[in-house]
Amino acid sequence: MKHLQINSKVYRVTKEGVQENTIVGIFSSHREIESGYIAYTISNGQETRDFSNYNLGKTVFATKEEALACYAQHQDKFRKELLHEQREEYCNLKQYISSRMRYVKEECVTFIEAKLTEIDKELTSIEAAGKANRLSVNTPIDDLGLSNRARNVLVCKCKLSTLADLLNLPKDNLASTKGVGTKSFSEIIAKIKSLGYDY
């Protein structure tokens, strides 16, 4: 990602979706130089933020297709975060109405409670769907939908055959395996979490 130039388009993954941004500055500090990072300042016209190479390829991508794929992979997680934020807002509103606006008609509280029930049902539905779609631990590594590099590391380097083998492999061992770079390691961890398993 270090080849990106000022005025290049990049795509940032947020809880709300994929945002198109423009690189408006490239810089590096002494600390970032030591770490091998170059930082990019990106803007969507409303806000300007800085991202290091650590963020590029994880929350910021050079193509829209990569960003959409990342968003799709974490869509349930983002939706749950937004629902929790909405739930907190409604709870705060309900508390405010109950404590300071006693003259407000009871219908307002009833409406808010109905919205809270809606949100709770959707959260439950998302969690249930995640468990229902969880792959069996006997699923072959080849069927996990990993990139070729990540798949080859697990099958050829770690000699793993199934998801169960991967779940039983200590995380430190995986991280220290020759050929496992930051990108492959992050991809494998993200895949395990997206399947509903702790690692």
DSSP string, 46-86: S-EEEE-TTTBTTTEESSHHHHHHHHHHTHHHHHHHHHHHH
What is the model's pTM?
0.44
Q: What is the pLDDT of residue 3?
A: 60
What whole-number distance in Å separates Cα of residue 125 and Cα of residue 1? 38
Instruction: Give tens-digit pLDDT for 32-59.
Output: 545 556 677 777 777 787 777 667 777 8
Q: What is the pLDDT of residue 10?
A: 86
The domain segmentation of the chain, as residue ranges, is 9-72, 75-132, 141-190
Q: Is 91 helix (H, G, I), strand (E, B) or coil?
A: helix
Which of 44, 45, 49, 50 has the alpha carbon at shortest distance from 17? 44
Cα 30–Cα 32–Cα 35 angle in degrees, nearest 5:
115
Lowest-pLDDT choice from 54-58, 61-65, 121-125, 148-152: 54-58
For the chain, give the mean pLDDT. Answer: 81
Please indicate whether residue 196 or residue 185 has the higher confidence score (pLDDT): 185
**Please, is 62 exposed, middle or buried when counting C-beta atoms within 10 Å of its C-beta (0-12, 13-18, 19+)?**
middle
